[in-house]
Structure 1
Amino acid sequence: QICLIPFQGDRADVLLPPTRSIAMAKKRLEAMPCGGGSPLADALQAAMLTGLNAQKTGDVGKVVVVCISDGRANVPLCVSKGEEFDPAADEDSKDGKPSRKYLKDEVIACAKKLGVLPGFNLLCIDTENKFISTGIAKEIADAAMGKYHQIAKADGKAIASVTNQALNAMKKQ
């Protein structure tokens, strides 16, 4: 089964619940919104919840979360949940906004939670330019004990190729 959870703006939303319909997935993928904020921690939480629900209903045994991102979150979880960000919660906060460290720590904490869930695997496809890379996407994959791939160009063919290779490798384990 496949599920699509785009994250942009202030939150991540399930665009396509788990389904066997590849045609529907392709159609929704083509219409998937992009740009704006990157609520990456919210996306990882949504993926965990969706995967756990699919496991509970018996629809799937294994869950592979494919995270296509540069790893740079810029929306804290509290904002994704409809709350105000409290600068007092972040010692490095400037101008009332969360610091990069705060946002990164939230994402890494979510990745660690995902990594210990039974039957869950994370594949992180890094879209960041490798010459100016911060390495955050690799840290996310490592925190979840997942797989990491850096791709030069985030087009559909490159993403499909990396995903297929990684899924085949995971099946052999």
Structure 2
Amino acid sequence: MASVGKSLLLFLCLVSSIVFVTPVDIPDEYKFKYEDDGLYAEDFDLEIGKGLKTFERNLDDVFTCRLSYEIPKGETETWRFTLNTAADKSSYSCFAERPGPKNSELNFKQFKMSLIGVKEINNGEAYGEPSVSLPAEEYMVDKHKMEVSSRRGKFKGNLSRLAALGIPLQPHTEL
């Protein structure tokens, strides 16, 4: 019985020492970041405040994905940015999403995901809930500008994930 009491006391001491932190309090070196051949993933904090903010990353010195967004107010959220290429380099994909099963609590004013280094967007999707696409009238995929973006006056502000798939400028050829 004494060992149960000691275990309970130890557990209570551990629980009482837990410090709750917000994403801003977590140093960048402790945020998720992964790089491998054809894959790049990184957690980043969405910036809140006036004006358009931009976050972008490059993969293979060929493909760049840029996320531009505006969030007038709210609490900072940590999102994940993932760039990927097919094994044969025939396509590139980009995802910006809130990790985890919860929806974003933020109210976006606008968003735009731009693909640079591709000749065509095959697919683009915006999600209000993690697995439910936004209604088509709230966003558009512009195949000429290589963008997935909110529609001015139609977008209702709920966004939890963006995804786009593009075909590279130079086709990969086997030697």
Q: Same fold per TM (> 0.5)?
A: no
Q: TM-score, normalised by structure 2?
A: 0.29
The structure carrying a bigger strand percent of its residues is 2
> Computing the radius of gyration over CA atoms, which structure comes out larger, 1 or 2?
2
Q: TM-score, normalised by structure 1?
A: 0.29
